[in-house]
Amino acid sequence: MAGFLSAHGYDPGPTQRPLSAGAISGIAAAIPAVAVLWLFGSLEVESRIVSLPLWATLGLGFAAMAIAGAAYGRLFGRAANHKRGGWLFGMAFGFALWAAGAVLVLPIASGGQTPAGPAAVGVALSLLVWGCATGLLIPFIHPYLHVGLESVPTKAELGPNAAASTQKRQVPQHKPK
């Protein structure tokens, strides 16, 4: 990754939207992740653990994946846009989410309850699938969110236009004698 970062830089430019691209990609990537949760029976187990109806669990899950996607876009910066390596960055991030969320936070928040057996496998796989899908989607979603410098709205009180208009006002008008 060091070679990639040294060649392309790390920080996104002023016209890029890594948080928006990450959030949109995170929501879209949640669809295959929910399918994995459903196949392994993890969705019902999670719903029971958090004491919420299935639809509320899904809604909170999609919101959490939007926030996680935005965090992914911000954390990885320009590396999140890498078309060949994004899936790997995403899977690593998904693994970190599993370790932090399902293994650490969920037992604390639920009084020690965690998914077990096939449901636990489903949770782990769903976050790996989510991360992989997020990493694959960002490079294709992000270009649609870029803003060209020529289309950025300009304000008269900012930038070079402000300096030019200020100088015009301060220059006294000379009348020919």
| 112 part of a folded domain | yes
Give the model confidence (pLDDT) of 70-125 as tens digits: 998 888 877 777 778 888 888 999 999 988 888 788 788 777 777 888 888 998 99
Tell which wins on pLDDT, 73 or 166.
73
Please, which contacts does 95-98 make with residues 24 or more away whose CB atoms are closer than 8 Å? 95/127, 95/128, 95/131, 97/68, 97/127, 97/130, 97/131, 98/123, 98/124, 98/127, 98/128
87 vs 29: CA distance, rounded Å: 12
Q: Calculate the alpha carbon distances from 72 to 9, 37, 115 in Å.
A: 17, 21, 25
Q: Say whether pLDDT at 6 is over 60.
A: no
Which position has the higher pLDDT, 126 or 159?
A: 126
Q: Do the domain assignments include residue 159?
A: no
Number of domains in the chain: 1
Q: What domain range includes position 90? A: 13-150
Q: What is the mean pLDDT of the chain?
A: 78
Contact 25, 94 (CB under 8 A): no
The pTM (predicted TM-score) of the whole model is 0.70
Q: Would 4 be classed as within a structural domain?
A: no
For the ranges 25-34, 82-91, 149-158, the lowest mean pLDDT is seen at 149-158
Does residue 171 lie in a domain region?
no
The secondary element (H helix, E strand) that includes residue 8 is helix 2-8
In a domain, 161, yes or no: no
Q: Is residue 23 part of a domain?
A: yes
Give ∠ CA 92-29-66 in degrees, rounded to 5.
Answer: 85
DSSP state of 11: S
Is the pLDDT score of 14 beyond 50? Answer: no
Predicted local confidence at residue 9, as pLDDT: 54
